[in-house]
């Protein structure tokens, strides 16, 4: 593939390529995280429910997951330079259109288009950078790459909170446009020219089977709570259709000469272990960024600016993790994986112990620890997955890497929101059931003399407490996800030099 030619770049060319790749990934990361802060205002402005507004995030992630496996074919068909340039331009234009979206449906569609345009950018830029540096430098390069990635999640939520509070949610997308313009100019100047290989054809059947399977599973977990799960014919049909299309996709991919995703690469045991950890890592990456803004604004009344600062503190923890790995990447990756997933377990457990009067300090330090864990996990995962394959397989493996990461994120977000909604309803019913007239008064109210003035404050407080219980259960789910992933670290083998 064209990736092999990048090893001939000069040192200055490698540095410029790394800097340009970091700028592109910074734009992608910032665009995802900066919108999270404005979710509560989008919900109110566009008259959406909690599960509906979550589609602003999940539509991007699902579209990105569907488009990622096509990176290999697109790279062969059009070349990495042309694909990166047009992907960056398309992403920038859809960002502008998101700012002009008149309703939630249009915004969700545009976010999906953002995900499609952005899909090839991460794996291709990462593959170009990894192929241009020797394996001995991969740990340091991944750390630098990661530092650039975390700048977006650090400044994005903070500035997004200020912009949302002062100018409305549309301002967060306008804010991204100058960085999008710089990214477009940088890729035009720096990305080296390559020669496309037009012999490979797109596996259309594999693409259709895979897209339908991904869409069905995502619709199932997103709409399951609203439709009462498998009591609904729609949810049952989506589940069966997803399983059937996934089966067809696997069988077709293993028997077709040039499949959409070459599953034969998964015979590599070290790669499979790494990718399983990548899926778990993806599940832990974005869920708090969706849950916390809604919880803090709806239950605690925090302004968007304050919420943005709290999310930026999480980004600061990620930055600290990457800085540590600049020095620590030379050591056994299993050490950092254990520390990283352990930090997620600890922070998730502490968040599950919050109460309705949670303090700013509690939110800040748990977010910092969670971000630190993300920083510790990212670099070892890249090192062990890239070391398991040959350089010519980098585009395919990086596509699968980010596919699992993003699809894991979208599924975990949907399940977390569904869990929070379901358990908050159950908690509300349980609390109301305990409020009997023959029991002592609750919240200082005389239940024997009911009135609208007395009942409304009590109902509001019951609703707040029930919603808080739902969020706490979602945080416990976050901690358990990290705990379940921990045994996989035992199967990791240190990368062997190539």
pLDDT, tens digit (0-9, with 9 covering 90-100), for 349-369 = 999 988 888 888 888 899 899
| Residue 199 neighbours by CB distance under 10 Å | 8
174-178, 195-199, 478-482, 494-498, range with the lowest pLDDT: 494-498
Residue 470 lies in a domain: yes
Domain that holds residue 49: 2-202+260-425+465-491
Average of per-residue pLDDT across 458-467: 80
Residue 251 lies in a domain: no
| Residue 127 neighbours by CB distance under 10 Å | 30
* Residue 445 reports pLDDT greater than 60: no
Average of per-residue pLDDT across 308-323: 81
Residue 139 lies in a domain: yes
**Burial of 87 by CB count in 10 Å (0-12 exposed, 13-18 middle, 19+ buried)?**
buried
DSSP state for residue 193 in the 8-state scheme: P
DSSP state for residue 256 in the 8-state scheme: S
Tokens of 311: 């999310």
Q: What local confidence, expressed as pLDDT, does residue 475 receive?
A: 92
CATH number at residue 321: 1.20.1250.20
Residue 225 lies in a domain: no
Which residues have C-beta within 8 Å of that of residue 491, sequence separation ≥ 6? 273
Measured CA to CA in angstroms, residue 65 lies from 24, 49, 213, 249, 477 at distances of 18, 24, 11, 15, 23
High-pLDDT (> 70) share of the chain, %: 85
Cβ contact 307:172 at 8 Å: no
Alpha helices by DSSP H, listed for 224-268, are: 233-255
Q: What local confidence, expressed as pLDDT, does residue 448 receive?
A: 53
* 380: Cα separation from own chain's centroid: 18
Residue 419 lies in a domain: yes
Cβ contact 161:37 at 8 Å: yes
CA distance 239 to 264: 26
Residue 43 lies in a domain: yes
Cβ contact 73:119 at 8 Å: no
- Segment (H or E) for 300: helix 287-300
CA distance 284 to 291: 12
Cβ contact 334:491 at 8 Å: no
CA distance 480 to 458: 33
Query: Which pLDDT band, with edges at 50, 70 and 90, does 7 fall under?
Result: very low
Cβ contact 435:465 at 8 Å: no
CA distance 202 to 74: 8
Cβ contact 165:305 at 8 Å: yes
Q: How confident is the model over 56-79, as pLDDT tens digits?
A: 877 887 787 777 777 777 777 777
Q: Which of 26, 33, 40 is nearest to 61 (CA)?
A: 33
CA distance 139 to 461: 50
Query: Mean pLDDT highest for which of 32-36, 69-73, 117-121, 346-350?
Result: 346-350
The pTM of the full predicted model, rounded to 2 decimals, is 0.73
High-pLDDT (> 90) share of the chain, %: 8
3-17, 281-295, 414-428, range with the lowest pLDDT: 3-17
Q: How many domains does the chain have?
A: 1
Q: Which of 308, 409, 307, 297 is nearest to 59 (CA)?
A: 409
Q: What local confidence, expressed as pLDDT, does residue 345 receive?
A: 93
Measured CA to CA in angstroms, residue 194 lies from 1, 10, 79, 331, 390 at distances of 10, 16, 6, 35, 20
* Residue 130 reports pLDDT greater than 50: yes
Residue 294 lies in a domain: yes
**Burial readout 225-264 (b: 16 or more C-beta within 10 A, e: otherwise):** beeebeeeeebeebbebbeebbebbbebbeeeeebbbbee
CA distance 162 to 304: 7
14-28, 43-57, 271-285, range with the lowest pLDDT: 43-57
CA distance 157 to 395: 31
CA distance 371 to 151: 12
Average pLDDT, the chain: 79
Query: Which of 355 and 392 is assigned the larger pLDDT?
Result: 355
The alpha carbon torsion through 206, 207, 210, 213 (nearest 10 deg) reads -120
Measured CA to CA in angstroms, residue 321 lies from 329, 348, 379, 475 at distances of 11, 18, 9, 22
Query: Mean pLDDT highest for which of 6-15, 51-60, 378-387?
Result: 378-387
Residue 54 lies in a domain: yes
* Residue 229 reports pLDDT greater than 70: yes
* Residue 116 reports pLDDT greater than 80: yes
Query: Mean pLDDT highest for which of 110-119, 194-203, 310-319?
Result: 110-119
């Amino acid at each position: 593939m064209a990736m092999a030619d990048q090893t001939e770049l000069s040192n200055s060319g490698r540095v410029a390529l790394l800097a340009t790749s970091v700028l592109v990934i910074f734009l992608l990361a910032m665009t995802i995280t900066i919108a999270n802060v404005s979710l509560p205002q989008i919900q109110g402005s566009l008259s959406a429910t909690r599960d509906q507004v979550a589609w602003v995030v999940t539509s991007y992630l699902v579209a990105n997951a569907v488009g990622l496996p096509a990176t290999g074919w697109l790279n062969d068909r059009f070349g990495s330079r042309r694909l990166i340039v047009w992907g960056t331009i398309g992403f920038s234009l859809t960002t502008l259109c998101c700012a002009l979206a008149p309703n939630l449906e249009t915004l969700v569609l545009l976010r999906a288009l953002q995900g499609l345009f952005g899909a090839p950018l991460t794996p291709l830029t990462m593959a170009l950078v990894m192929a241009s540096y020797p394996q001995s430098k991969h740990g340091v390069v991944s750390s630098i790459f990661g530092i650039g990635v975390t700048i977006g999640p650090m400044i994005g939520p903070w500035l997004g909170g200020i912009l949302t509070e002062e100018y409305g949610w549309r301002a967060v997308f306008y804010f991204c446009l100058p960085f999008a313009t710089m990214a477009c100019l940088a890729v035009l100047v720096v990305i080296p020219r390559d020669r496309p290989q037009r012999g490979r054809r797109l596996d259309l059947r594999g693409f259709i089977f895979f897209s339908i399977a991904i869409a069905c599973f995502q619709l199932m977990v997103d709409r399951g709570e609203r439709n009462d799960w498998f009591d609904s014919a729609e949810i049952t049909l989506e589940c069966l259709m997803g399983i059937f299309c996934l089966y067809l996709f696997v069988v077709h991919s293993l028997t077709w000469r040039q499949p959409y995703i070459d599953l034969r690469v998964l015979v590599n045991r070290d790669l499979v272990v790494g990718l399983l950890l990548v899926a778990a890592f993806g599940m832990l990456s974005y869920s708090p960024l969706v849950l916390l803004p809604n919880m803090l604004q709806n239950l605690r009344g925090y302004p968007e600016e304050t919420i943005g600062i709290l999310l930026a503190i999480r980004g600061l923890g990620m930055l600290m993790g990457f800085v540590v790995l600049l020095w620590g990447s030379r050591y056994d990756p299993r050490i950092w994986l254990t520390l990283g997933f352990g930090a997620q377990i600890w922070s998730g457990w502490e968040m599950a112990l919050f109460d309705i009067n949670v303090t700013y300090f509690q939110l800040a330090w748990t977010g910092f620890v969670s971000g630190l864990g993300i920083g510790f996990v990212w670099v070892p995962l890249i090192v062990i997955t890239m070391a398991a394959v040959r350089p010519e397989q980098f585009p395919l493996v990086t596509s699968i890497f980010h596919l699992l990461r993003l699809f894991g994120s979208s599924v975990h977000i949907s399940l977390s929101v569904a869990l929070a909604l379901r358990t908050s309803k159950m908690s509300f019913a349980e609390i109301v059931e305990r409020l009997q007239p023959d029991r002592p008064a609750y919240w200082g109210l005389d239940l024997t003399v009911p009135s609208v003035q007395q009942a409304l404050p009590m109902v509001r407080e019951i609703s707040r407490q029930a919603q808080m219980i739902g969020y706490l259960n979602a945080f416990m789910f976050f901690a358990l996800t990290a705990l379940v992933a921990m045994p996989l670290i035992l199967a990791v083998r240190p990368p062997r030099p190539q």
